[in-house]
Amino acid sequence: MPVIHTSVTTDLAPAEALRILTDFGPGRAAAFPNVDQSTLIVHEVGDTWADVTEGNKLGWERERYDWDPAAGTITAVTTESNLWAAGSRWDYRIAAADGGGSTVQVRLERHAKGVMGHLVGALIPLLGARTVRSGLVSALSAH
């Protein structure tokens, strides 16, 4: 079970960073490099939750997003995927940074499913933190 931790500091206020990460509108695929428009399906969205399928040609996952603006937290738990078992997850914690802006901490936990999931999962300790950090910088910069 690969788990990675990484963080990004941005000039955005914590509320704005949270808004961007929970924006499931038409710009999501353009903002997140690992999300193809062809796999993005927004099933339902509530005030502090969403049921979304997203990914790319290699892998996709349906996730239940839940967020708490007051706490600055977002969780995305996998409910279905071609690579990852249910219970795989993303956890974000957004906090005000010293001097302004915010720090976004990310924890990614993967439970592989199938041969391809195990192969991709083996790369996560090697490339995962850099890939996640790069995607997060891209998303926060796109808005």
In CATH, what number is assigned to the domain containing residue 74? Answer: 3.30.530.20
Q: Dig out the tokens for 69 from the structure.
A: 């603006």
- 15-44 residue pLDDT tens: 999 999 999 998 999 999 999 999 999 999
Domain count across the chain: 1
Residue 107 belongs to what domain range?
Answer: 3-142
**pLDDT value at 69 more than 80:** yes
As a whole number of angstroms, the distance between CA 66 and CA 52 comes to 11
Identify the helix (H) or strand (E) that includes residue 87. Answer: none
What does the pLDDT average to over 52-69? 97
As a whole number of angstroms, the distance between CA 97 and CA 50 comes to 27
pLDDT at 89: 98
pLDDT at 109: 97
